[in-house]
Amino acid sequence: MSQAKVPTWVSVALIPFLNIMMAFIVSGLVILAIGENPIEAAGYLIYGAFGYDEGVGYTLYYATNLIFTGLAVSVAFKGGLFNIGGEGQAYIGGLGVGLVCLALDHTMPLYVIVPLAIIGAAVFGAGWAYIPAYLQARRGSHIVITTIMFNFIASSLMVYLIVNWLKEDGRMAPNSRTFEENAWLPYLHKILSPLGIEIGDSPLNLAFVLALICCVLVWALLWHTRWGYQLRTLGTNPTAARYAGIDTAKVTIWGMLISGGLAGFVGVNEIMGVNHSLLLNFTAGYGFAGIAVSLMGRNHPIGIILAAILFGALYQGGSELAFEIPTITPEIVIVIQGLVILFSGALEHMFKDRIEGFFIRRAVA
């Protein structure tokens, strides 16, 4: 008799849903504890994220960055690598975007600058991931330690470069000069408006389309190529991968390069799409939030899209909530976000054994 298996929808949908619901229940108790109505707060949060065109645009704008970093974590995790250096890789990827735009915005049209900026983001982000990847593959250094260290190195490097080399003359703020408009990634509301589609003014730009394309490419790469099979084999059983003749060091390095390149695309959205100049701290924690997005999305592109939209809704809806109910400060909103991360990450197995056991017993019976 074959061993009973848990239905796929239980692990990819039911358990994450229950974890999220538990996070929201605890969040409701926190809001109740400060004397506010959690139902009213939930209404403001949902309305702020999805209740009007501009809110939806902001939600998807935040989700764009989280898709990039979620995919970055997912690709590395499939190879058994816990890449928590997405913050630094995104930072350096933004440097690549900024250098391309600063060098070419006076002479090149948008259709030339965009692909070069995307390549710059990928190359710089991948390059920043290469050293930790090499140290892991060839020297046995733990990827978690090295990627954490490189986050701080990236931050210090960006401060040095912008303050001493790239800051606009006569300007106190540590920013580069503003790019010429032919180096601005078009906003989606401006693209869709002539077609009669009104989505409201928001920072949402073509980087969202790039994020969706990356999801398709990652899906195809991981599940429909030989290299993707090798990466997943390495992540499942490194010993079996070596016995199968897989060059584990090479696969490790390439996995991290792809992961770093994906994280670097945050710079396309933030530097080229929204800020239109090179500046400090534009990553805003997206690299770390991408870890939770990847875990909640079960390291699958479809799940990552849904989880990124959820976190984007928390970002945007949380702003609306803090505005409408002043006693719910931005810090309380961060607590809600933290509870979602806690229950979807650290406590994701809280219900797992019981639920899977229930379905296994049901299948046997």
Domain of residue 297, CATH code = 1.10.3470
- Report if residue 346 sits inside a domain: yes
- Report if residue 110 sits inside a domain: yes
User: Within this chain, do residues 247 and 363 fall inside the same structural domain, yes or no?
Assistant: no
pLDDT of residue 1: 40
User: Within this chain, do residues 217 and 90 fall inside the same structural domain, yes or no?
Assistant: yes
pLDDT, average across residues 144-152 = 97
Closest CA to 299 of 231, 205, 248: 231
User: Within this chain, do residues 168 and 31 fall inside the same structural domain, yes or no?
Assistant: no
Q: What is the pLDDT of residues 154-192, one digit of tens each?
A: 999 999 999 999 999 888 889 999 999 999 999 999 999
Q: Could you identify the residue written with the tokens 């009213």?
A: 40
Q: What is the pLDDT of residues 201-238, one digit of tens each?
A: 999 999 999 999 999 999 999 999 999 999 999 999 99
User: Within this chain, do residues 210 and 341 fall inside the same structural domain, yes or no?
Assistant: no
Integer Cα distance of 87 and 190 in angstroms: 30
pLDDT, average across residues 268-292 = 96
Strands (DSSP E) found in the chain: none
144 pLDDT tier (thresholds 50, 70, 90):
very high
Q: What is the pLDDT of residues 71-85, one digit of tens each?
A: 999 999 999 999 999
* Cα dihedral across residues 270, 274, 280, 282: positive or negative: negative
Q: Is pLDDT at 65 greater than 50 in this prediction?
A: yes
Q: Is pLDDT at 347 greater than 90 in this prediction?
A: no
pLDDT, average across residues 32-55 = 95
On whether the CB atoms of residues 249 and 137 are closer than 8 A, the answer is: yes
User: Within this chain, do residues 19 and 84 fall inside the same structural domain, yes or no?
Assistant: no
Q: Is pLDDT at 244 greater than 80 in this prediction?
A: yes
- Report if residue 115 sits inside a domain: yes
Number of domains in the chain: 2
In sequence order, which ranges of 51-184 are alpha helices (DSSP H)?
53-78, 86-104, 110-139, 143-161
- Stated pTM of the model: 0.95
pLDDT of residue 350: 78
User: Within this chain, do residues 17 and 69 fall inside the same structural domain, yes or no?
Assistant: no
Query: What are the structure tokens assigned to 283, written together?
Result: 């990553």
Count of all residues that appear for the chain in the document: 365
Q: Is pLDDT at 5 greater than 80 in this prediction?
A: no
User: Within this chain, do residues 317 and 350 fall inside the same structural domain, yes or no?
Assistant: no
- Report if residue 45 sits inside a domain: no
User: Within this chain, do residues 206 and 348 fall inside the same structural domain, yes or no?
Assistant: no
Q: Is pLDDT at 341 greater than 60 in this prediction?
A: yes
User: Within this chain, do residues 4 and 61 fall inside the same structural domain, yes or no?
Assistant: no
Residues 6+ away with beta carbon under 8 Å from 199: 53, 56, 57, 188, 189, 192
Helix, strand, coil in percent for the chain, rounding step 5? 75, 0, 25
4 pLDDT tier (thresholds 50, 70, 90):
low
> pLDDT over 70 for what percent of the chain?
98
pLDDT, average across residues 41-62 = 96
pLDDT of residue 3: 59
Measured CA to CA in angstroms, residue 299 lies from 10, 74, 124 at distances of 15, 5, 24
User: Within this chain, do residues 264 and 135 fall inside the same structural domain, yes or no?
Assistant: yes
Range of the domain at 132: 54-326
* H or E, element range at 70: helix 53-78
User: Within this chain, do residues 164 and 206 fall inside the same structural domain, yes or no?
Assistant: yes
pLDDT of residue 337: 85
> pLDDT over 90 for what percent of the chain?
79
Residues 6+ away with beta carbon under 8 Å from 118: 210, 265, 268
Q: Is pLDDT at 7 greater than 90 in this prediction?
A: no
- Report if residue 44 sits inside a domain: no
User: Within this chain, do residues 318 and 353 fall inside the same structural domain, yes or no?
Assistant: no
Measured CA to CA in angstroms, residue 166 lies from 103, 115, 277, 278 at distances of 12, 22, 10, 8
- Report if residue 136 sits inside a domain: yes
Q: Is pLDDT at 2 greater than 70 in this prediction?
A: no
pLDDT, average across residues 147-156 = 97
